[in-house]
């Protein structure tokens, strides 16, 4: 090739034919490099092929994992949650309260409509289910040559059966669609599956407060049900004091709070009883009136221990026995201890004031002894002397101020004796004749 040829080819590159490609010459093999690489890889794989493996049986853990993956919880049902915050997206000119009420009412009406539709479809499915069972029964009877073969058409029954099953399937599909696309909100996200109320009987009865702190024994006596009369309440208090007076007096004489805690732990059922607190209150009042201020102050402090335990139990809605140890743990706090001491001082002041008022009341109610001249009746006779001369039946009638009983006593006596006694009663003022109504009145002059 000459330089002129090369120059001509360059000038007319578009017209110059493509030069021939010389065949590649390989020294070691006549196979192209790419194909040779494939052959080498295949030969190497054949040379180092691993032994054939049998079918692998998954272990128990792998099977359990595969099973759980199939039973995984489907969270897609929570994709349609209506958040209440969406209702707050209102225009500034719209009242939010009105908007909330409208949105809530619309949601409630929509849910009621959907529930009504589901109820209606379930009712129709129930009716179609009964018809399906009837058709199946008739088909069985027709095919077995029974009585239904005379008046029923098998083809018609088969067609009706398919139609009924198709309607049921359509309704079930619609119900499933409604459930899948149901809008969830705060009212229907959850429901109460089970509801159980357990009332613990321990400590619920007042009788459980009588006995040891840890015993929890209750009285087996079946008392009257309902509010007690005043006489029954007084008798119950008297019986309680007679039975537990030694424990109460021992607690009143306790000087250390640690000993109070021990006694409450041993006899908490008795000391925390309402009758026990009444007894301790009266003991504080009697000690102050009898001139024992130190004893009264000690009893007042111990009384406040019981009151604070009871108040703490009421605030925690627990049985008083359950808060004894928490109370003594709390009282170690200086701030709580200061409040407790202040309450004790206030209680002491109230006891002292009540003792003064009670003394005045007792002095005012104390009967004044009259002289004989002051006791003389309208006829100049002393009622005390006349009362002592009366028969026992008449004395009892005057003590009870029972006119009927006095009439019976007089009728049992001799008329002259009865008249003599009645004249003496009128002269002494024991019997006052009411002339306006022709009735008599038994006078209460303090002889009873």
Per-chain mean pLDDT for the chain: 75
120-178 pLDDT, tens digit per residue, is: 999 999 999 999 999 888 888 888 888 877 788 888 888 988 999 999 999 999 988 88
Q: How far apart are CA 307 and CA 330, in angstroms?
A: 15
Q: Please give the distance of CA 260 from its chain centroid, rounded to a whole number.
A: 32
Residue 318 has pLDDT above 50, yes or no: yes
pLDDT band at 367 (very low <50, low <70, confident <90, very high): low
Within 10 Å of residue 83's Cβ, how many Cβ atoms?
10
pLDDT computed for residue 157 by the predictor: 86
User: Nearest to residue 309, comparing CAs of 327, 296, 331, 284?
Assistant: 327
**Region 419-430 average pLDDT:** 84
**Greater model confidence, 296 or 69:** 296
Q: How far apart are CA 423 and CA 390, in angstroms?
A: 12
Residue 216 has pLDDT above 50, yes or no: no
Q: How many residues does the chain have?
A: 448
pLDDT band at 13 (very low <50, low <70, confident <90, very high): very low
**Region 392-421 average pLDDT:** 86
**Greater model confidence, 240 or 378:** 240
Lowest model confidence (mean pLDDT) among 248-257, 310-319, 364-373, 392-401: 364-373
**Region 182-195 average pLDDT:** 78
CB 343 within 8 A of CB 351: no
pLDDT computed for residue 53 by the predictor: 54
User: Please, which residues bridge with residue 382 across strands?
Assistant: none
Give percent of the chain above pLDDT 90.
Answer: 10
pLDDT band at 20 (very low <50, low <70, confident <90, very high): low
Residue 37 has pLDDT above 60, yes or no: no
CB 380 within 8 A of CB 419: no
User: Nearest to residue 135, comparing CAs of 161, 114, 167?
Assistant: 161
**Greater model confidence, 69 or 378:** 378
pLDDT computed for residue 448 by the predictor: 40
* 51 backbone dihedrals φ, ψ, rounded to 5°: -65, 150
Q: Which residue has the tokens 């006891």?
A: 351
Residue 369 has pLDDT above 80, yes or no: no
Q: How far apart are CA 358 and CA 261, in angstroms?
A: 33
**Region 213-236 average pLDDT:** 55
Residue 243 has pLDDT above 80, yes or no: yes
CB 447 within 8 A of CB 398: yes
245-283 pLDDT, tens digit per residue, is: 899 899 988 889 888 888 888 888 888 888 888 898 889
**Region 7-23 average pLDDT:** 47
Lowest model confidence (mean pLDDT) among 223-237, 261-275, 295-309, 319-333: 223-237
Angle between helices 96-143 and 154-180 (to 10 degrees): 160
SS3 content of the chain, % helix, strand, coil (to 5): 65, 0, 30
Residue 181 has pLDDT above 90, yes or no: no
User: Structure pTM?
Assistant: 0.39
Q: How far apart are CA 77 and CA 70, in angstroms?
A: 17
């Amino acid at each position: 090739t000459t330089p002129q040829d090369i120059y001509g080819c360059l000038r007319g590159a578009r017209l110059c034919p493509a030069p021939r490609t010389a065949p590649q010459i390989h020294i070691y093999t006549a196979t192209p490099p790419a194909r040779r690489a494939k052959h080498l890889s295949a030969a190497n794989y054949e040379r180092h092929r691993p032994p054939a493996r049998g079918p692998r049986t998954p272990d128990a853990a792998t099977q359990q994992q595969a099973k759980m993956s199939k039973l995984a919880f489907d969270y897609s049902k929570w994709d349609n949650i209506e958040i209440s915050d969406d209702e707050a997206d209102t225009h500034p000119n719209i009242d939010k309260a009105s908007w909330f009420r409208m949105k809530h009412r619309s949601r409630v009406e929509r849910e009621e409509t959907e529930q009504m539709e589901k109820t209606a479809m379930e009712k129709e499915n129930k009716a179609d289910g009964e018809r399906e069972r009837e058709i199946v029964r008739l088909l069985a009877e027709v095919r077995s040559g029974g009585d239904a073969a005379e008046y029923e058409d098998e083809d018609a029954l088969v067609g009706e059966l398919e139609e009924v099953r198709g309607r049921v399937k359509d309704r079930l599909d619609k119900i499933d669609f409604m459930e899948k696309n149901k809008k969830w909100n705060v009212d229907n996200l959850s429901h109460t599956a089970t509801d159980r109320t357990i009332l613990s009987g321990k400590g619920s009865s007042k009788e459980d407060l009588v006995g040891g702190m840890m015993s929890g024994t209750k009285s087996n006596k079946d008392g009257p049900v309902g509010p007690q009369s005043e006489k029954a309440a007084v008798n119950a208090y008297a019986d309680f004091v007679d039975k537990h007076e030694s424990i109460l007096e021992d607690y009143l004489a306790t000087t250390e709070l640690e000993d109070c805690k021990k006694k409450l732990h041993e006899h908490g059922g008795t000391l925390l009883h309402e009758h026990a607190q009444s007894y301790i209150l009266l003991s504080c009042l009697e000690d102050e009136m009898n001139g024992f201020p130190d004893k009264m102050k000690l009893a007042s402090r111990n009384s406040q221990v019981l009151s604070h335990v009871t108040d703490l139990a009421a605030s925690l809605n627990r049985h008083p026995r359950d808060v004894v140890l928490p109370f003594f743990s709390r009282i170690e706090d200086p701030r709580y201890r200061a409040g407790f001491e202040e309450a004790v001082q206030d209680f002491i002041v109230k006891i002292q004031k009540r003792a003064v008022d009670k003394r005045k009341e007792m002095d005012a109610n104390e009967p004044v002894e009259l002289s004989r001249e002051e006791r003389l009746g309208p006829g100049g006779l002393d009622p005390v002397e006349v009362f002592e001369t009366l028969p026992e039946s008449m004395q009892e009638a005057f003590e009870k101020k029972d006119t009927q009983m006095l009439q019976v006593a007089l009728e049992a006596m001799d008329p002259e004796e009865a008249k003599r006694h009645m004249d003496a009663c009128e002269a002494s003022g024991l019997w006052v004749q009411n002339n306006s109504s022709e009735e008599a009145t038994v006078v209460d002059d303090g002889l009873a």
